[in-house]
Amino acid sequence: MLRRLAHRHRHRHARTAALALAGLVLLLAAGTTGAAAPAARHAGAAPRPVAATTAVPGAPGSATPLSGYAVQSTAKVPDPAEAVSSPGYPATGWYPAGPRSTVLAALLAAGVHPDPFHSTQQQLIPAADFTVPWWYRSDFTVADTTARTHLDFSGVISAADVFVNGRRIAAASTVAGAYTRHEFDITALVRPGTNTVAFRIQPNNPRKHLTMGWLDWLQPPPDENMGIVRDVTVRRAGPVALRDAHVVTALAMPSMATADLTVKARVRNDSDTTVTTTLSGTAGGAAVATSVTLGPHETRAVVLTPAEHPALRLQAPRVWWPAHMGEQPMYDLDLTATVNGIPSDTAHQAFAVRDVRAPLNADGARQYEVNGRPFLVKGGGWSPDAFLRWDPTYAEDRLTYALDLGLNTLRLEGHIEPDEFFDLADRHGILTLPGWECCTKWEGEVNRNEAGERWTAADHSVAKASMAAEAARLRHHPSVISFLIGSDAAPNEQIERGYLDALKAADWTAPVIPAAADTASPITGRSGMKMTGPYDWVPPGYWYDKREGGASGFNSETSAGPDIPTLDTLRRMMTPAELETLWKEPAARQYHRSPSATFDTLELYNAALTARYGPPASLEDYVRKAQLAQYENVRAQFEAYSRNAKDPEDPSTGVVYWMFNSGWTSLHWQLVDRYLDQGGAYFGAKKANEPLHVQYGYDDHAVAVVNNRTAPASGLTARVTLFAPDGTQKYDRSVTGLSVAGGGASSTALTLPESVPGLPTTYLARLLLTDAAGREVSRNVYWLSTEADVLDYERSDWYYTPTTSYADLRGLSSMARTAVAVTATTTADPSGTSTTTVTLRHTGPGGTPALLTDVHLVGSQGVPVLPVRWTDNQVSLWPGESVTLTAQYRTADLRGAAPRLRISGWNTPTATVPAA
């Protein structure tokens, strides 16, 4: 295991390090800065205007983010820092940047560089531009200087000298690390009228600094994300400042009948005289109040408990649940500090009541429980935008997709998103697993085979401060169910002690996980997770073996690697010549796959695709086969983990698909592509995770029913029918009176015989599940072979297990072409949402089914309307069968065009029909 992990990471980043040393220029994303338009729509969009000056009110308790910056390379600014950071400095020729923007994001928004999402255009950007510091300059106005003024920020990459009105208030040695938080009293420097804040941002190198890197996820940007990626806030207050206000909740378990709320805050006297402040407000609707006397410049912690304030013991609390398990109610904390009856400062925070635990089960695997109810973590690895641009609409679209797929968790390895992301996760009931990233400076002290450098004493301070800031920021979010203080390696005792001390000081109550890999830390102990891959192609049957990355325990990152997007997306991201190479040259290096030498080709994937489905005859045929292959593989991964979740021996407790999405236009590790289009991987996951589901086991040929609903189901009928590719029936059996408990339980309905007379090498299995009233509640179609994929486990590497012989699915190519009849209607509601209802009917002659029929909603010129949520898609129909699907989407995304439907499939000719 350890040998494989070491081997894994020598390969995982060797290519990245080589590129960096060679000074090659790699850029990742085009688009706007700040709150950009959703990625599905913003290609070529004009930069969003940036306010030149931020008006800061004088009201006590106000917190005003700077609205944007002017940025420029220090190589082009000869003036001294005192001048650059003073009001009135003429920032002529500087570039506008949003309130959260990397340097390169600003340059892209300004149109300095071409679209780096397309082809290899990112290589045109000179890396030398980012080897020197860059200035970030912003003005704000203040009318009243009687209130105290503080500058509050985090998200500086990698470090910065900070200036206000010509005076340096902090050095880069102090403001270092992407996650550290800083507050400076600038009252003495603030003047009526215009004031200036300036940051001299230092270049970033994730191998040298505790910031963010891209590992083998995507081609790293040449600026390494240097910039300011979180809000810089100007805070105003009276003599007493209110900080760190939060609520620690304790839900009575297992009854959940009561919940204790403990209110905590720090009050700070910023004046030169003794003051008495009254702290009052509400927490969860309960009124609280207390008085505190503070000496000059004294800070004191205030704790309000249910023992002193009985109203803080909630009766019958509204409990927060993950989306698929219940509702997501939130409470509010509102506090005001007053001095002599005048408000001095305020604080607000939303919080929730829930209990989360993650004990190790009898097999040593991490088993998560929310409110006493154990569940299978079904997750995906989250990636932000390649330039760390925050777009709330685009983020919510992806979170909505995660719910649509039946996922309950997203893992954030590094790249911990801003507050709004976790607000959205709280509201939608999506669980999150944030943590530090592997293989950079974060693990430089403990993962010696990686590029990250050894830590200095200053690094230990930055790491502890980062943990303290993130713990304080995330602790109140019910969606956050852990923090992973290690990824591929656990911290040593010194580092772990720093993390744990910071977490304890922040009143962190969620489980702390030492690593995402199967290792242990000196204090916390075993991780209860495994990181055994795979990361490249394996056949669907792989997932059913309880070894390597198969369905047992908690697999923190795993998938069969490549996920070829739809033809629409491929044509947006690659040139015609590159698309020819994609399907004709399996060993060719693919720039849009990974910078890693291990993952820079599609050789393993293309070899399997050709062996199992036959050699591609064209780009269209290659993509068609890829969607079929990805559907079956992703479906098998989630189905195997779901089926094994309740096994009495070595059950599966969690699986994180690596990855849910990509931060750029990619050929691997994505259930949904950059433009939010949906292909075989997406609908394979959606099928596997449907609420009540009938599925086939590649290992034991058993048909099982998995119930992801909370309530049990009974009176079910499961039917399985086997067909030759031409639709000739070879086997049929039904089992009635089936019952299955809720909460992820499964029940075996029947087992297929070892052999079926007359069954061809390639065959189809149609599984139908109906309820007591005869309504179809689950339909699942498999394409299978009497010749199984054979794996050579003895030659397993960290990223895959070799396949020595392949299943023969080439018989699918003999399926006759068959059309599908389509009728559709569309309605639009006043909220701006349209719903298209589609009925597909197989009315063709003969017995051949229409396999994996895809419906794409398109607008003008056949461009997909995205995002869109389908009740189901990529369905398979036999003659005489029909299915009705619905799609919901934003009416505005039609851009004034009438909706149309593009119908295609494995053996269905492509046709486009009106949907109005």
Which residues form the catalytic set?
488, 557
C-alpha–C-alpha distance, residues 437 and 515, integer Å: 10
* Torsion angles phi and psi, residue 636, rounded to 5: -65, -40
Cα separation, 153 vs 99, whole angstroms:
11
List CB contacts of 335: < 8 A, sequence separation 6 or more.
242, 245, 263, 265, 279, 280, 281, 346, 347, 348
Q: How far apart are CA 530 and CA 10, in angstroms?
A: 19
Q: Is 633 helix (H, G, I), strand (E, B) or coil?
A: helix
Q: What does each C-alpha distance from 789 to 540, 612, 792, 796 come to in angstroms?
A: 9, 9, 10, 15
DSSP characters over 280-329? EEEETTEEEEEEEEE-TT-EEEEEE-TTT-GGGEEES--B---TTTS---
368 in Cβ contact with 356 (< 8 Å)? yes
CA distance 363 to 528: 9
Answer yes or no: are the C-beta atoms of 899 and 834 closer than 8 Å: yes
Neighbours of 362 (CB within 10 A): 10
User: Angle of helix 419-428 relative to helix 392-404, nearest 10 degrees?
Assistant: 30
Q: Is 907 exposed, middle or buried (0-12, 13-18, 19+ CB in 10 A)?
A: buried
Tokens linked to 676:
């939010």
Using alpha carbons, select from 299, 255, 244, 307 the residue that is nearest to residue 277: 299
CA-to-CA distance for 536 and 598, rounded, in angstroms?
A: 9
Q: Cα(457)–Cα(656) distance, rounded to whole angstroms?
A: 35
Length of the chain: 916
The sheet carrying 275-283 orders its strands as 286-294, 275-283, 331-339, 342-351
Are 379 and 430 a contacting pair, CB within 8 Å? no
Rounded-to-integer distance, Cα 601 and Cα 605, Å: 9
Asked if 723 and 764 count as a contact pair (C-beta separation under 8 A), the reply is: yes
Q: Which of 289, 239, 237 is nearest to 263 (CA)?
A: 289
Q: In whole angstroms, how far apart are CA 524 and each of 1, 261, 435, 579, 604?
A: 20, 27, 15, 49, 39
Phi then psi for 620, rounded to 5 degrees?
Answer: -60, -40
Using the 8-state DSSP alphabet, how is residue 387 labeled?
Answer: T
Using CA atoms, how far apart are residues 69 and 49, in angstroms rounded to an integer?
11
- Residue for token pair 């407790």: 653
- Please give the Cα distance from 894 to 900 (Å, whole number): 10
3-class DSSP assignment, residue 246:
strand
Distance between CA atoms of residues 801 and 534, nearest Å: 7
- What's 828-847 look like in SS3? ECCCCEEEEEEEEECCCCCC
Q: Are 825 and 849 in contact (CB under 8 A)?
A: no
Place of tokens 């402040």: 277
Which of 64, 65, 68 is CA-nearest to residue 53?
A: 68
